[in-house]
A and B are shown apart, each in its own frame.
Chain A
């Protein structure tokens, strides 16, 4: 099977990947992450052996970019030491800012599972297949994430 023209991956998946990334890193960083996701994908694209499950492949890359972004922004205040102004973390981007900062602080798998489940409204089987884990593991990551959020977020 041949790989489809790359731009078709943009048309088919960009909007949903964007929402996924907003859940993971917040709206300010989401667009950058989305661009970086597609640039990495484009670089590797011709070397893919087949065109199966390109969507899952894109989500894997997006998740990696989100993890990098979260790691970068948590390291940011350290720059203060070099005399550079610290950059405020995403700021009041979302109406529900406190909650989403807590989501971003979750372990990567729980965070991704929560975003897949609630932001993208996916069933556990689908979440599992996109994350490359079992349906049961997807369910466990969602409930572990929810448990943790309930402890941190005051309703």
Chain B
């Protein structure tokens, strides 16, 4: 039975909600109240659109296009905190430094890294990788040695392949001792691009 009263109840004049505005407001308030544990934003790089994820501790993840964003958000929610929201302005520092790196005016990143996605030997390998200077390359064996296990170069290769913060933790600077470039998470063309940018490979 639908009568006049029920009809009026079913049709309140409801203004539409601007969900993007709500998201932005919530992200800002969350950051102010210290409730934004993982913020992210996208960055248009010469290597395609990257996604930058930061925590109050620092840069936690930098991902290449093609890595499904929902899966990354799920992983961060599970491993860091479920308080995850898009908040591009929180990633401005990272984006500006990437700008100057790709623009050729920056050699070293001055960014705190949140290492929580890396554990054990993998973390050791990536910390050693973070110390490789701009414009130079080392072998997988070198980086394994620097991480404390010279013979674990295959494991070192796996660790580099799962680097959560490529470019900034420069796993592209690790190559085969014999001269081959080795592999790269973002694809070999991107590794070549970065090594050309740094003057290791001819342009």
A interface residue numbers (CB < 8 A to B): 2-8, 10-11, 14-15, 18-19, 22-23, 27, 31, 34-35, 38-39, 42-43, 45-46, 93-96, 99-100, 103, 114, 117-119, 121, 146, 149-150, 153, 155
Interface majority SS on A: helix, strand, loop or mixed? helix
Which residue from A4, A15, A99 sits with its C-beta under 8 Å from B19? A15
| A8–B83 alpha-carbon span in the complex (Å) | 10
Question: In the complex the two chains form, is B86's CB within 8 Å of A7's CB?
Answer: yes
CA–CA, A4 to B84, complex, Å? 9
CB distance from B100 to the nearest CB of A (A): 29
Q: Tell me if B45 counts as interface (CB < 8 A to partner A).
A: no
How many residue pairs, one in A and one in B, have C-beta atoms under 8 Å apart? Answer: 109
B12–A3 CB distance below 8 A: no
Please, how many angstroms separate the alpha-carbon atoms of A103 and B38 in the complex? 40
Residues A35 and B82 in contact, CB atoms below 8 Å apart:
no
Q: How far is the CB of A13 from chain B (nearest CB, A)?
A: 10
Q: How far is the CA of A94 from the CA of B10 in the complex (A)?
A: 13
CB distance from A23 to the nearest CB of B (A): 6
In angstroms, how far is the closest chain A Cβ from the Cβ of B72? 9
Please tell me which one of the listed residues B4, B15, B73, B77 contacts residue A27 in the complex, with CB atoms under 8 A apart.
Answer: B15
Is B119 at the interface (CB under 8 A from chain A)?
Answer: no
B interface residues, how many (CB within 8 angstroms): 33
Whether the Cβ atoms of A4 and B10 lie closer than 8 Å is: no
Contact, CB under 8 Å: A95 / B13: yes
29 CB contacts below 8 A, A to B, read: A2-B78, A5-B74, A5-B85, A6-B84, A7-B23, A7-B84, A10-B23, A10-B85, A14-B17, A22-B15, A31-B17, A38-B26, A39-B29, A42-B26, A43-B33, A43-B35, A45-B83, A46-B81, A46-B82, A94-B12, A99-B5, A99-B8, A99-B9, A100-B12, A103-B9, A118-B6, A119-B9, A146-B6, A155-B4
Chain B residues close to A by CB (< 8 Å): 4-6, 8-10, 12-15, 17, 19, 22-23, 25-26, 29-30, 33, 35, 37-38, 73-74, 76-78, 81-86
Name the residue of chain B whose CB is nearest to the CB of A23: B12
A96 touches B8 (CB 8 A): yes
CA A107 – CA B6 in complex, angstroms?
A: 18
